[in-house]
Amino acid sequence: MEDMGIRKSARDRLTQFAYKTLGYVSFFTVGEDEVRAWSICGGDTAVNAAGAIHTDLAWGFIRAECFTYDELIECGSEKRVRDNSHFRLEGKDYIVRDGDILSIRFSV
């Protein structure tokens, strides 16, 4: 691929094209034992994202703890993201962006 000047695989290009065409964005959830990507429609709010994970999270939504994938790579760890003030709390109306990492606060 490098010799031919191709920077991304056909699979990666097709996936990005399909997501863009369908209007999807991806966000991530991170736990001690699992990292997971979720797909939602572009323009969806944090409550919609919570509902994509589980309807109870949307029903009892309080806030979303949020930072981006790029901030995580730049800082190297979630602790350093917090220490560098990239960590934010977002409300129900927050529009989830591609590459956000969310932790949903909720009460049922």
Query: Domains of the chain (ranges plus CATH)?
Result: 10-106 (3.10.20.30)
Q: Give the residue among 94, 103, 92, 95 at the shortest CA–CA distance from 42.
A: 95
pTM: 0.84
pLDDT digits 0-9 by tens, 67-85? 999 999 999 988 999 999 9
Report how far residue 86's alpha carbon sits from residue 102's, in angstroms, rounded to the nearest whole number: 13
User: What type of residue is 105?
Assistant: R
Whole-angstrom Cα distance, residue 106 to residue 63? 7
pLDDT tens per residue, range 13-60 = 999 899 999 999 999 998 888 999 999 999 999 999 999 999 999 999
CA distance 45 to 47: 5
**Structural tokens at position 58:** 């949307």
CB 53 within 8 A of CB 104: yes
